[in-house]
Chain A
Amino acid sequence: MKKWIALLVVAVMFAALASGCGGGSSQKPAAVKDSIVVAQGTDIEDLDPHGIASTPSAIVTEHIFDTLVTLDKDFKIVPRLAESWQSSPDGKEWTFKLRKGVKFTDGTVFNAQVVKFNIERLLDPKVKVLLRGYIDQVAKVEVVDEYTVKMILKYPHAPFLARLSSASNAMLSPAAVAKYGADIGRNPVGTGPYKVKEWVRGDKLVLERNEEYWGAKPAIKTVVFKPVPDNNTRLAMLEAGDADIIVRVPPVEYDRLSKNANVKVVRSNSTREIYMVMNVNNQYLKDPRVRQALNYAVNKEEIVNGILKGAGKAVDSPLLQEMFPYKKVGAYEFNPTKAKQLLAEAGYPNGFKLTIHHPVGRYLEDKRLVEAIQGYLKNVGIDAELKTMEWAAYLTFVRKPADQAETQLFLMGWGPWILDGDQMLYPLFVSGEFPPGGNNYGFYKNDEVDALLKKGTSTTVEKDRADAYGKAQELIMKDAPWIFLHSEMQIVAMKKNLDGVVVLPIEQLRLAGAKWAQ
């Protein structure tokens, strides 16, 4: 009797399974789809563009709002709400001619007054602006006429135009700010190709086409963003058809996914550089020979090929190739013998003990990466202990001032939204940028580098900047305040028949030009 019941149960389960599968395939709509589901790793914090600093949020706000200028897929600065611009010979005054006939989704007309309002809001210390450094070179904004606006800078600043392309410098409707006040982050009103239809925090954000959009009308009517933290879940969603685009595909899955006939995998460069910071106040790491030895000890190429499965590029300069003004300085080659020799010269023929701190789940294969580095260091006699920390706690830990810092060697990444070298070299290597306020977490200080980087940020003559930054890159590489590792590639996967999605090197997606192939 029992056996029969068991058999019956199994039969019912199989029947349910079979009908479930059948149901899935018969649900495919006959008509052309006009929606896209995007699965991201983390949720959107807020939709007030001025208040955001994370890439997943920026991906969304960039579809609701417009900036004055933007980047195209070749990283060039191109017009958006500003049609043309001009700077004074001394580089302190910038005049923008604005696009005419642009309206916010609440009917407000976009004009010079709106630009003035937005820049002043960005500069207002009472407003929460996380990336104020992207705009605070502006001293004053003047309305010249209805569609002409002039910005006066405190000092000439070469990357200024690039900074205006940052998602955090987008244009909000002044009327909406007045209406919603602090709630503007939940009721965003912009001029972009999409507007918010529905937002259920932690579940989904639904964008709907802005029918009055000034640019080319998007082919896709609805875009849904879903937060899915687990890599494998996102992958399963794409393969099962629950998502149309997924970001941050684990590199180990690249080969397998590429073979899937229904999926196209886009692997492209990103501007995120990954490195191990050395606290130069550490008793061992204060010696440049030791720091160079650590660089010689690690096989960067092997990490890129073996751990990242090619989804990265070993760096050969503190600055990435994509950024102006990159100079190829030459990486430390993998040479454990030389590393041992340098360690012996520095007085540590038998190595020493170190602690490596690292986050997990933040960067591509971060845990495996530090485990590999631990192995390389062991080969040259350095006994490293790994300490894993949760991301938020980790940030607090590495941001302590010099006298409280417990860091020795730790994993970090930096992925600026604008591709000017200033955005990388200045905050990470100038001695004025020590924590707790700044991002020079290793307390690196070289007076010559300081002077060169200051010169680079305050001149607009391209050649002078290239010279200053070029020399700085050489000096930094020689001083080796980091173990220079690689730049990450971003792997985005989508349905094969989805065309026109632009993947930018700043880890962002542009969906306004997307459409489903017939």
Chain B
Amino acid sequence: MTWIAVWRQLKRNRLALLGLVIVAFFIAVALFAPLLAPHDPLAQSIARAGETPSAQHLLGRDELGRDVLSRLIYGARISLTVGLITVVIGAGIGVPLGAISGYFGGRTDLVIQRLIDIMLAFPAMLLAIVLVSTLGVNLENAMIAIGVVSIPVYARLVRGTTLVLRDIEYVQAARAIGLSNAGIIVRHIIPNLLSPLIVQSTLQIATAILWAAGLSFLGLGAQAPTPEWGAMLSSGRTFIRNAPHIVTFPGLTIMITVLGLNLLGDGLRDALDPRMKL
């Protein structure tokens, strides 16, 4: 299926288009943060802490008098980075593991799958908390932790698809002409995994953003004064009665971004899955 066909498919799905717009907007904001942000996201002004939205500060000032809008804009960079890096870690390890597991089968499969089972036995968030606590509390380690806990998702997905692919004629043919196993996996299996991986990664970025926000909310992710959305939510929550804008806007931002990614992911799944074709 060509990308044009996918786009045609996607265009018909209004919700998916909405998701695409949200995600594109989010990426643009992250890329052009320094141009878009009206103020320095770290410039504090305690005397004016908690000011409600005004023409000067469209989303108001936070608990240290910093501009909420600018912090949200810079926060988009962090969330985007977190999303991408964790997906790279998770897919980077999960895809080869899954492919090897599915392609070779037998004892290799058994060992890898039991390892994955062990990882799946822990609730993902709990595992991430344990990892961060052991590695040390900062944003880099939070990304590593989230990346690691998303390995099983990829490994399972890839294994399932590989099991189907390895018996398909062109793979058999490649084997018959003497292509090595590694060659087959790299040249024939993985390219055919791309569509499910794209769908999964879109959804996984959304999950990673939520988890990173969750870890930062618990004080295990981004550290002050980094303008991370979850951390903003956490430090603003004490003011929910007096200055609700401090906590509301980061919450809305997280919600809309994650919603956008999920809508896009769902749309892509429909568009990329040949069986779903109308």
Q: A250-B238, A299-B46, A368-B64 are in contact. List 12 more A-B contacts (CB 8 A).
A: A231-B238, A252-B238, A253-B241, A255-B242, A256-B241, A302-B46, A306-B65, A367-B224, A374-B225, A375-B64, A386-B223, A388-B223
Decide: A378 and B42 in contact? CB cutoff 8 A.
Answer: yes
A481 to B141, CA, bound (A): 34
- Indicate whether B270 reaches chain A with its CB closer than 8 angstroms: no
Q: Interface readout for A350-375 with B: 1 if CB under 8 Å, 0 if not? A: 00000000001000000110111011
Contact in complex: A388, B225 (CB < 8 Å): no
CB-CB under 8 A from A388, the residues of chain B are: 137, 219, 223
Which B residues lie within 8 Å of A306 (CB)?
46-49, 65
**How many angstroms between the C-alpha atoms of A299 and B49 in the bound complex?**
14
B44 within 8 A of A: yes
Number of interface residues of B (CB under 8 A): 19
> Considering the chains assembled together, what is the distance between the CA atoms of A305 and B47 in angstroms?
7
Distance, CA A62 to CA B65, complexed state (A): 42
Tell whether, in the assembled complex, residue A386 and residue B65 are in contact, meaning their CB atoms are under 8 Å apart.
no
B104 in the interface, Cβ–Cβ < 8 Å?
no
Q: Please determine whether B224 and A307 come into contact, CB atoms closer than 8 angstroms.
A: no
Whether, in the assembled complex, A303 has its beta carbon less than 8 Å from a beta carbon of chain B, the answer is yes
Q: Which chain B residues lie closer than 8 Å to A374 at the CB level?
A: 224-225
Interface residues of A in 277-300 (CB under 8 A from B): 299
Chain A nearest CB from B133 CB (Å) reads: 11
| B242 and A252 within 8 A (CB) | yes
Asked if B239 is at the interface (CB within 8 A of a chain A CB), the reply is: yes
Give A contacts to B, CB under 8 Å.
231-232, 250, 252-253, 255-256, 299, 302-303, 305-307, 360, 367-368, 370-372, 374-375, 378, 385-386, 388
B223-A385 in contact (CB<8A): yes
Q: Are A307 and B42 in contact (CB under 8 A)?
A: no
Asked whether B223 lies within 8 Å of A368 as measured between CB atoms, the reply is no
21 CB contacts below 8 A, A to B, read A231-B238, A250-B238, A252-B239, A252-B242, A255-B242, A256-B241, A306-B48, A306-B49, A307-B46, A307-B49, A367-B235, A368-B63, A371-B64, A371-B224, A371-B225, A374-B224, A375-B42, A375-B44, A375-B225, A388-B219, A388-B223
The answer to whether A372 and B242 touch (CB under 8 A), given A367-B235, A385-B223, is no
Within 8 A of A (CB), among B157-201: none
From B241, which residue of chain A is reached at the shortest CB distance? A256
User: Which residues of the other chain, A, contact B241 by a CB distance below 8 angstroms?
Assistant: 253, 256
Q: Which of B44, B137, B219, B238 is close to A372, meaning CB atoms less than 8 Å apart?
A: B44
B46 touches A372 (CB 8 A): yes
Q: How far is the CA of A374 from the CA of B42 in the complex (A)?
A: 10
CB distance from A133 to the nearest CB of B (A): 35
Known interface pairs A368-B64, A368-B235, A386-B224; A302-B219 also in contact (CB < 8 Å): no
Interface string of B200-227 (1 = CB under 8 A from A): 0000000000000000000100011100
List of B residues within 8 angstroms of A250 by Cβ = 238
Q: With a CB–CB cut-off of 8 A, which chain A residues contact B235?
A: 367-368, 371
A303 with B46, Cβ < 8 A, contacts A368-B235, A388-B219 known: yes
Complex: how many Å from CA A302 to CA B225? Answer: 19
Q: Which of B117-153 contact A (CB under 8 A)?
A: 137
Residue of chain B at shortest CB distance from A371: B224
C-alpha spacing A231/B241, complex, angstroms: 13
The answer for the CA separation of A375 and B62 in the assembled complex, in Å, is 14
CA A256 – CA B244 in complex, angstroms?
Answer: 14
Contacts of B64 in A (CB 8 A): 368, 371-372, 375
In angstroms, Cα B49 to Cα A387, docked, is 23
CA of A388 to CA of B221, assembled, Å: 12
Alpha-carbon gap, A375 to B43, bound state (A): 8
Which residues of B220-257 have CB atoms within 8 Å of chain A's CB atoms?
223-225, 235, 238-239, 241-242
Q: Which chain B residues border A386 with CB–CB below 8 Å?
A: 223-224
- Which of chain B's residues has its CB closest to A375's CB? B44
Q: How far is the CA of A360 from the CA of B235 in the complex (A)?
A: 12
Residues of B within 8 A of A256 (CB): 241-242
Could you tell me the distance between the alpha carbons of A372 and B65 in the complex, rounded to whole angstroms? 10
Interface residues of B in 53-105 (CB under 8 A from A): 63-65
> What A residues does B63 contact at CB under 8 A?
368
* Cα A187 to Cα B218 with chains together (Å): 40
A406 CB to nearest B CB, Å:
14
Among B137, B219, B225, the most chain A Cβ lie within 10 Å of the Cβ of B225
Per the bound structure, the CA–CA distance linking A299 and B64 in Å amounts to: 13
Return the 9 tightest CB-CB contacts between A and B, nearest first: A306-B46, A375-B44, A371-B224, A302-B46, A386-B224, A306-B49, A306-B47, A252-B242, A302-B47
Chain B residues with CB under 8 Å of A375's CB are 42, 44, 64, 225
Chain B residues, Cβ within 8 Å of A305: 46-47
| Bound: A425/B65 CA distance, A | 35
Q: For the complex, what is the distance from the CA of A371 to the CA of B49, rounded to whole Å? A: 13
CB-CB under 8 A for A253 and B242, given A306-B49, A372-B64: yes
| A-side contacts of B44, CB under 8 Å | 372, 375
Minimum C-beta distance from A137 to chain B (A): 43
Residue of chain A at shortest CB distance from B234: A367
Min C-beta distance of B43 to chain A, whole Å: 8
A250, A252, A253: most-surrounded residue (chain B CB, <10 A) = A252
> What residues of chain A lie closer than 8 Å to B223, measured between beta carbons?
385-386, 388
Distance A479 CA – B224 CA, assembled complex (angstroms): 30
Residue on A with the closest CB to B49?
A306
Roughly how many angstroms separate A280 CA and B45 CA in the complex, as a whole number? 30
Least Cβ–Cβ distance between B246 and chain A, in angstroms: 11
How far is B220's CA from A360's CA once the two chains are assembled, in angstroms? 13
A232 to B42, CA, bound (A): 28
The residue in chain B whose Cβ has the minimal distance to the Cβ of A250 is: B238
User: A307: which B residues are within 8 A, CB to CB?
Assistant: 46, 49
Complex contacts, B238 vs chain A, CB 8 Å:
231-232, 250, 252
A252 to B244, CA, bound (A): 12
List B35-52 residues whose CB lies under 8 Å from chain A: 42, 44, 46-49
What is the distance, in angstroms, from B239's C-beta to the closest C-beta of chain A? 6
- A-chain residues with CB within 8 Å of residue B47 when the two chains form the complex: 302, 305-306
- Collect the chain B residues with CB atoms within 8 Å of residue A302's CB: 46-47
- Within the complex, what minimum Cβ distance (angstroms) separates B26 from chain A? 27
